[in-house]
Structure 1
Amino acid sequence: MRHVLPRLLLALSLFGPLPAWAADEADGASVRTVIERQLDAFARDDAAGAYAHAAPVIREAFPTDGVFMSMVRRGYPPVYRARRHSFADLRELPGGGLEQSVRIEDEAGEDWLAVYTMEKQPDGTWQISGCRLERVASQAA
């Protein structure tokens, strides 16, 4: 038993991070891809394409792509017509979901933080289960 710990430490030092770390990176990349695709669909007014990335909880609340798109136009104009965006923090949520922060510049040049909640589906894909917008205070003095 006393020889197990040194061997484990040696294995970790030789082989680097455990495989779970790689899975986290893969999940982060998948989450960013889903958000990118939805933002691209909004830019093209592709309701079906944008709706395809909505998790079941969103589909229950907004039962058609048209109803969903109308809600986004009215309630999330910075997301609907983002001029620019960049990804910020990704964090794990209790219960297994992820939260991805995205910096957005809207059509008027205003800065926002869109915080997406992501839900992993039974098939292993990620879908968007929510988004909250926060206006970013101006940096001008």
Structure 2
Amino acid sequence: MRIAALLVAISIIFSSTAAFADDIASAQGVIRAQEQAFARDDAAAAYSHAAPAIKEIFPAPGAFMSMVQSGYAPVYRHKSFEFGDSKSEGSWIAQRVHIIDANGEAWEALYTLEQQADGSYKITGCSLLKAEQAA
């Protein structure tokens, strides 16, 4: 009986770990797809990864892209873009990204994503700080 209970507990731990890993991989895929859309100057593709609340604030892809270009230059253009730590809670994921901008300066971005009714993840926000401020 104890062995069966132990096996059930182990399977639950590993299945939740696998689900967590799948969710993180999905969220990172969304962030990476948006990053690549920025690199191609594809406003429509970049905008497609934004959550509904972001689309309410920026109702057109062009307005969204202008905001990113002016307010998030290290996200828009950079030398490197590497994923850091992730945290998942309920339908939300927080993902750190280490960025080296076009001028060689280090930045920390914290993306937040929310799982949508269809199971996909959309970006709800991005906070950006110079790396020395983030420490």
1:41-120 correspondence to structure 2 within 5 Å: 41-93=37-89, 96-120=91-115
Q: When you count strand as a share of all residues, which structure comes out higher? A: 2
Q: When you count helix as a share of all residues, which structure comes out higher? A: 2
- RMSD of the alignment, in Å? 1.8
Query: Cα distance 1:36–1:9, how it changes in 2: closer, same or farther (>3 A)?
Result: same
Q: 1:12: how far off?
A: 4.2
Kindly provide the amino acid, as one letter, of the partner of residue 88 in structure 1: G
Preserved CA contact (<8 Å) 1:104 1:111: yes
TM-score (structure 2 length as normaliser) = 0.91
Q: 1:20: how far off?
A: 1.8
**Gaps in structure 1 of 5+ consecutive residues:** none
Equivalent in the alignment of 1:29: 25
Once the two structures are superposed, residues 19-53 of structure 1 have per-residue CA deviations (whole angstroms, 9 ceiling, x without a partner) of 22211110010011111110001011100010010
Preserved CA contact (<8 Å) 1:39 1:82: no
Structure with max Cα Rg = 1
Q: 1:10: how far off?
A: 4.0
In the aligned structure 2, how far is the partner of 1:32 from the partner of 1:52? 15
In the aligned structure 2, how far is the partner of 1:90 from the partner of 1:73? 25
Of residues 6, 10, 35, the one that matches 1:9 is: 6
TM-score (structure 1 length as normaliser) = 0.87
In the aligned structure 2, how far is the partner of 1:10 from the partner of 1:119? 32
In the aligned structure 2, how far is the partner of 1:41 from the partner of 1:10? 45
Query: Cα distance 1:65–1:10, how it changes in 2: closer, same or farther (>3 A)?
Result: closer
**Gaps in structure 2 of 5+ consecutive residues:** none
Query: Cα distance 1:63–1:16, how it changes in 2: closer, same or farther (>3 A)?
Result: closer
Q: 1:126: how far off?
A: 0.5
Preserved CA contact (<8 Å) 1:87 1:102: yes
Equivalent in the alignment of 1:134: 129
Query: Cα distance 1:121–1:16, how it changes in 2: closer, same or farther (>3 A)?
Result: closer
